[in-house]
Amino acid sequence: MKELYLFGASGHAKVLIEIAESTNWKVTGLVDDNADLKSLLNIQIHNKFKAKDKYWIISIGNNTIRKKIVEQFGLKEYTKLIHPKSSLSSSVNIDIGSVVMAGVSINSESKIGKHCIINTNASIDHDCKIEEFVHISPNVGIAGNVKIGEGTHIGIGANIIQGIKVGKWCTIGAGAVIIRDVPDGATVVGNPGKIIKSTIGGVDENK
């Protein structure tokens, strides 16, 4: 059994611990910078880690924070976690640091970048390209040939039709239906999806 370290003792980490336990991993290190946190699912939480510790996943749901931790800590040995009850085509590529939850389907030649979360029951069809630090929430439906830019969060139950390009660091609201390309930094809600705000370069243009 291989030893896995998780950074971030969140609800998301609980799901990852259970995926690890149902595969070939044992979570031997759980790290969080909140000194008040003591344990999660009976695993002790530490506030420090040793540089030699190997095989990490950043177990934080927020895409921006996950990216900051990867940049700050430079933990090099990442792995990926794939729930045994997910269905992935043999031509799918999942990069390091990414996690795939129960019930997920990913079809032919789709690519998932580094440090992504593909959450419970999401469906990603053929030839999609999901860039790094993306979170695809539970029950999202993504048709063929869709591109999702770095850091974007697709909200729970959203659907995206075929061939769409969603930009970087966008937020797609829960239940939205995306039928047109989405520019970088946009927040889109509703059916059909409409832009309600935009943050380009970290500035919310609506404020």
Ligand X SMILES: CC(=O)SCCNC(=O)CCNC(=O)[C@H](O)C(C)(C)COP(=O)(O)OP(=O)(O)OC[C@H]1O[C@@H](n2cnc3c(N)ncnc32)[C@H](O)[C@@H]1OP(=O)(O)O
Residue type, 53: D
**Residue 29 or 173 having the CB closest to ligand X:** 173
Output the six-digit token pair for 14. 């609980």
Contact partners, residue 109, CB within 8 Å, separation at least 6: 89, 91, 92, 126, 127
61 labelled ligand-binding: yes
From 46, 83, 115, 126, the catalytic residue: 126
Q: Say whether 126 is catalytic.
A: yes
Longest dimension (CA), the chain: 51
Q: Provide the minimum distance between the beta carbon of 74 and ligand X in the complex, in angstroms, as a whole number.
A: 27
Q: Consult the annotation and say whether 185 binds a ligand.
A: no
**What is the residue whose two structure tokens read 């239940």?**
175
Per the DSSP assignment, residues forming a β-bridge with 106 are 88, 124
Cβ-based nearer residue to ligand X, 75 or 188: 188
Tokens 């934080």, residue? 60
103 is an annotated ligand-binding site residue: no
CB of 173: closest distance to ligand X in angstroms?
A: 3
Query: DSSP letters along 142-159, please?
Result: E-TT-EE-TT-EEPTT-E
Nearer to ligand X among residue 73 and residue 138 (C-beta): 138
Q: With respect to ligand X, which residue has the nearer C-beta, 8 or 29? A: 8
Q: Where does this chain bind ligand X (CB under 6 A)? A: 119, 137-138, 155-156, 171, 173-175, 187, 189-190, 196
CB of 152 to ligand X, least distance (A): 12
Residue 61 half-sphere exposure toward CB, CA atoms < 13 A? 16
33 is in an annotated binding site: yes
**Cα separation, 82 vs 113, whole angstroms:** 14
Bridge-based pairing of strands 99-100 and 81-82 is: parallel
| Nearest approach, Cβ of residue 118 and ligand X (Å) | 11
| 10 labeled binding residue | yes
Q: Could you list the active site residues?
A: 126
Which parts are annotated binding residues?
Answer: 10-12, 32-33, 61, 135, 156
Which parts are annotated binding residues for substrate?
Answer: 10-12, 32-33, 61
Which parts are annotated binding residues for acetyl-CoA?
Answer: 135, 156
